[in-house]
Structure 1
Amino acid sequence: MRLALWQGHSPAGDISAAMAALETALNAAGAAGATTLVTPEIYLPGYNHPAIADHAQPRGGAWHGTVAAFCRKAGCGIVLGYAERDGATVCNSALVLDDRGAQVAHYRKIQLYGPREKALYTQGDAYVTFDMNGTKAAILICYDIEFAPHVAALAAQGVRIILVPTANMQPYTHVVRHTVPAMAANHAVSIVYANYCGSEGDLDYVGGSLIAAADGSIPAQAGTTPALLIADLPEGYPEQHLSTQALDLRTIPL
């Protein structure tokens, strides 16, 4: 399966610029034969925008139709992070569309990070899995992927690919260097982790977006500037290359 991620600057509330960048990235990913493009966290309107609640949009709004049309034109699906308005609440969400622009999944972040997120968003309370070209996939958002129990729970359900919009900032470079690759290797799942680069308000993003394979290899990783990463993941791996921790774990009574 060929997957893509887009690492770029936050649109910082400029929705027209955001849509133009999405269309360009989708067209490029589609032309390269990618099945799906993963974008950063809260790409609409921008993770660190000062008025998130005012810019949050309902699922299925006009923006949704625009992005769906981009997918159909490009022949490429998308995982799009956005601030979701649901009545009086706002959620840190990700929408999954296929290459025909049809919705195949929708997820709300479970592990809200820090006081700002906890003040802005209502947390999600469920995993979401879906079929992606015959492979069981799931969505986690940023901080979610740093919790081994969540990754283990998805792997136990047969998930083989986890797609992750993120907004990882300084000084947490260890997440892209060590945490995400270790999660992939330890749980025998592939992870596509799409981050921002550059600055937004008082945040400096670390970049480092990556595609980490289930056998512990890293087929592609970005630096600290905008990048479109595309990598092929095999349908399967030799058994001796995959972690057996889930089978070998001994539970020690306390």
Structure 2
Amino acid sequence: MRVALCQIEVGDDPQENLQRMLDALAGAPEADLAVFPEASQVRFGNELARFAEPLDGPFVTALRDAARTHRTAVIAGVFEPAGDGRVHNTVVGIEADGALAGSYRKLHLFDAFGDRESEDVAAGDEPVVLDLAGTRIGVVTCYDVRFPELARALVDRGAQILAIPAAWAQGVFKEEHWTTLIRARAIENTTWVVAVDKAPDRSRPPRGAPGGVGRSQLIDPMGVVVADLGPHPGVRVAELDPAVTGKVRALVPSLAHRRRDVL
């Protein structure tokens, strides 16, 4: 399975962001799956409700058309209206034929480090495993990665890969937190992780702190970093071998050793 990590810049104009996504897909025609950041539609700091669209709106429809054109499945972060003046921070999964495989609304909102995501975003209420690109992919969005019980619940529901789209806020120790947490989720669940952050902001958003630290990574079930995109925009296509999961779990059967009688 060939996975494209699409570490794009995300700005204040959804049409410019969409064009970056289309260009990334065109630049990775050999990929089976392309993963984009959280909030690829428009960066945080904007009036999100003004840009939010239903999943049959023009933004996701354009992504579905592009997925069909390039025969590449897509995972990407968008915003949906929540009905109370706020939005849902949503990740969509799109099949290579353009069909909508499903969507996940972020469970844990980033009310931390002085930010208040919940002022603009309404939380979801259900973990989601997507049947996508011939496998089962559990979705973990940005701040969700700090909650290991979510990743474990997704693995228990049959996820063979964890996809972690993010718009990770910049700040002291934030890059270290990101790289440590995404590797931890791979190691403790002996599963592949595809973690894609947006490229770092080069200008301040209309309000709030800059986002994105880059460092998008493909990590194998032993915790080996197969690809790391560093701090700059870019697209990297890397090989994900599902057979590695079984080999690692035979060597490190920690999931089988869980004390379900106690915990």
Normalization by structure 1: what TM-score? 0.91
Residue of structure 1 equivalent to 2:36: 39
Q: Using the TM superposition, name which of 234-243 and 188-197 deviates more.
A: 234-243
Residue of structure 1 equivalent to 2:149: 149
Structure 2 residue 207 is the aligned partner of structure 1 residue 192 = no
Q: Using the TM superposition, name which of 212-221 and 196-205 deviates more.
A: 196-205
Alpha-carbon contact 1:176-1:209 (below 8 Å) kept: no
Alpha-carbon contact 2:81-2:88 (below 8 Å) kept: yes
Alpha-carbon contact 1:2-1:34 (below 8 Å) kept: yes
Deviation of the 1:238 alpha carbon: 6.7
Deviation of the 1:122 alpha carbon: 1.1
Residues 1-54 of structure 1: CA deviation (Å, up to 9, x unaligned): 111111122122x1221121111101112x2x21111111111122x2321121
What are structure 2's unaligned runs of at least 5 residues? none
In 2, the alpha carbon distance for the partners of 1:253 and 1:100 equals 45
Residue of structure 2 equivalent to 1:71: 67
Tell me the secondary structure at the aligned position of residue 245 of structure 1: coil
Residue of structure 1 equivalent to 2:253: 244
- Structure 1 87/230 Cα, relative in aligned 2: closer, same or farther at 3 Å? same
Deviation of the 1:56 alpha carbon: 1.2
Alpha-carbon contact 2:165-2:195 (below 8 Å) kept: yes
Structure 2 residue 21 is the aligned partner of structure 1 residue 19 = no
In 2, the alpha carbon distance for the partners of 1:15 and 1:37 equals 19
In 2, the alpha carbon distance for the partners of 1:100 and 1:239 equals 29
Q: How does 1:129-140 map to 2 (within 5 A)?
A: 129-140=129-140
Residue of structure 1 equivalent to 2:98: 101
- Structure 1 239/160 Cα, relative in aligned 2: closer, same or farther at 3 Å? closer
Q: Using the TM superposition, name which of 236-245 and 226-235 deviates more.
A: 236-245
Alpha-carbon contact 2:94-2:132 (below 8 Å) kept: no
Tell me the secondary structure at the aligned position of residue 179 of structure 2: helix
Structure 2 residue 126 is the aligned partner of structure 1 residue 119 = no
Residue of structure 1 equivalent to 2:210: 203
RMSD: 2.0
Tell me the secondary structure at the aligned position of residue 34 of structure 1: coil
Q: Which amino acid aligns with 1:87?
A: G
Alpha-carbon contact 1:160-1:188 (below 8 Å) kept: no
Q: How does 1:161-240 map to 2 (within 5 A)?
A: 161-171=161-171, 172-199=174-201, 200-201=204-205, 202-237=209-244, 239=246
Normalization by structure 2: what TM-score? 0.88
Q: Which amino acid aligns with 1:209?
A: S
What are structure 1's unaligned runs of at least 5 residues? none
Deviation of the 1:244 alpha carbon: 2.3
Residues 104-131 of structure 1: CA deviation (Å, up to 9, x unaligned): 0111001111152111111111111122
Residue of structure 2 equivalent to 1:82: 78
Deviation of the 1:204 alpha carbon: 4.6
Q: Using the TM superposition, name which of 126-135 and 93-102 deviates more.
A: 126-135
